[in-house]
C-alpha cells in the first residue's frame, strides 16, 4: 500500500499533507507515529468529563496535528469542538451535539488507525 492509497482509504487529503511536509519520507514517519502520539485519545477522554478547558486544549491540539497530516475530516470535527469551547465564545451546541461530534471523531479515528495499521503491515 502506498501513502496515497492509505490516504484514499482513510478519507485523508494526501495533497494537503504534502503541502505541509513536502517529502513522502517525512509524511510516512509522522503518519506512523500518529496513533502513538495520543492526541485524539486525549480529546476523547476529555469528552467523558466535558471539562471545557480540557476539551478546548485537546481539540485544538488534535485540529493542528490532523491538519498538518492531511486528516482533514478529523481536523474539521476537532475544530468544531475547539471553537465550541474556546474561551469567550458562546456555546452553540448542546452537550448531546458535542457527544455526537465526539462519536464521529471516534469512528473516523478508528477507521484511520485501522488504515495506518494496514499501511504499516503492508
Domain boundaries, the chain: 3-121
Q: Can you give the pTM of this predicted structure? A: 0.94
Q: What percent of the chain is predicted at pLDDT more than 90?
A: 98
d(CA 95, CA 72): 24
Report whether pLDDT(60) > 90. Answer: yes
Torsion angle (degrees, nearest 10) of CA 36, 80, 103, 97: 160
Assign domain 3-121 one CATH number from 1.10.3810, 1.10.540, 1.20.120, 2.60.40.
Answer: 1.20.120
Amino acid at each position: 500500500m502506498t501513502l496515497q492509497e492509505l490516504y484514499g482509504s482513510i478519507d485523508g487529503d494526501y495533497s494537503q499533507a504534502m503541502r505541509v511536509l513536502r517529502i513522502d519520507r517525512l509524511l510516512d514517519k509522522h503518519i506512523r507515529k500518529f496513533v502513538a502520539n495520543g492526541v485524539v485519545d486525549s480529546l476523547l477522554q476529555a469528552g467523558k468529563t466535558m471539562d471545557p478547558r480540557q476539551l478546548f486544549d485537546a481539540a485544538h491540539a488534535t485540529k493542528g496535528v490532523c491538519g498538518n497530516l492531511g486528516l482533514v475530516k478529523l481536523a474539521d470535527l476537532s475544530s468544531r469542538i475547539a471553537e465550541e469551547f474556546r474561551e469567550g465564545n458562546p456555546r452553540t451546541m448542546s452537550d448531546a451535539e458535542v457527544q455526537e461530534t465526539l462519536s464521529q471523531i471516534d469512528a473516523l479515528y478508528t477507521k484511520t488507525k485501522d488504515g495506518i495499521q494496514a499501511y504499516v503491515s503492508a
